[in-house]
Amino acid sequence: MYPLKLTPALKDYLWGGNKLKTDFNKQSDMEIVAESWELSCHKDGNSVISNGEFTGLTLSEYVEKMGAGVLGKNCEQFDNFPILIKLIDAKDNLSVQVHPENEYALRVEGEYGKTEMWYIVDCEEGATLLYGFKHKISTEEFRQRIENNTLMEVLNSVPVKRGDVFFIDAGTLHAIGKGILIAEIQQNSNTTYRIYDFGRVGADGKPRELHIDKAIDVTKLEPPTRDIKPQGEPVRLDGYTKTLLAKCEYFNVEVLDVEKKAELACDDSSFHSLLCLEGELSLESEKGNIQIGKGDSIFLDAAFGAYTLLGKANVVLTTV
């Protein structure tokens, strides 16, 4: 029941850069660090506890050892750890892709689908991303445009700025553009169907696999209906401001702009995940204290109780 500091699983996908190492203190011998899986119990990359008596345990092992109660009552509806949180550094464009909904993913892939949200942490001037279609198209046109390489003509390209929020419902075609760094909160899934990959080849010298038929099965062929902004207005409290970024059946995400202090409490409904995007803090509580810096990810068990963040920082708080 003490604050757990997590070491992320790192991924060296070919489109990534090195900002996660230089700006967010990720330690790796890899030349490219495209993603850091900050809060993960996924088989493709587990977070590892790096402090206290549970040092060296993966987060999955910790939950198994301590019991599902550490996740909270809201997680009882899920049969596995419900979410995955990443930092993503796109030096180059990601593939045009889509994620399936739960029913299809469970039936075809053996894991849950993937609804996600993106919080734009930083971006280069003029950066854009792809978010759904400009207008509704038919399944036949979708397939034809994939085959004749004209798909990009009907995709919705959106300029981005720091602080933008994109909610990506499962089935929404999308692609992160080059020069963008995001925090991604998503369902605990790693199922992705690539539709278009700019003709790139992988480490083996071969074109990366596409998943055209599956993508056609699950893609919503229409413009997105979500606003590109936080779901809530900033709320000023004593020592900090909080803003609701996104709320859905899988996760609740707020950003805390801590100016001096933030007095918070973690009850038995859900664990708390704290991801520091800027600044430095001291987390103080009856169950232990910990220093938090830029790039640090902290996990607090459900029913952890009251705690205070002291300092000046920007923090993403995620619950279920």
- Annotated catalytic sites, by residue? 194
Give SS3 for 116. Answer: strand
Greatest Cα pair distance in the chain: 62
Task: For the beta carbon of residue 146, count every other beta carbon within 10 angstroms.
Answer: 17
Residue 83 near residue 173, CB atoms below 8 Å: no
Sequence-ordered alpha helix ranges (H) in 24-101: 59-66
Q: What are phi and psi of 74, to 5 degrees?
A: -65, -20
Question: Among 219, 203, 91, which residue's Cα sits nearest to residue 151?
Answer: 219
C-alpha 149/C-alpha 158 separation (Å) is 20
Q: What is the residue whose two structure tokens read 């950066």?
A: 127
DSSP 125-143: TT-EEEEEESS---HHHHH
Give SS3 for 184. Answer: strand
The number of helices, as runs of H, and strands, as runs of E, in the chain is 5, 23
- With 0-12 / 13-18 / 19 or more C-beta atoms within 10 angstroms meaning exposed / middle / buried, residue 239 is middle
Residue 250 near residue 187, CB atoms below 8 Å: yes
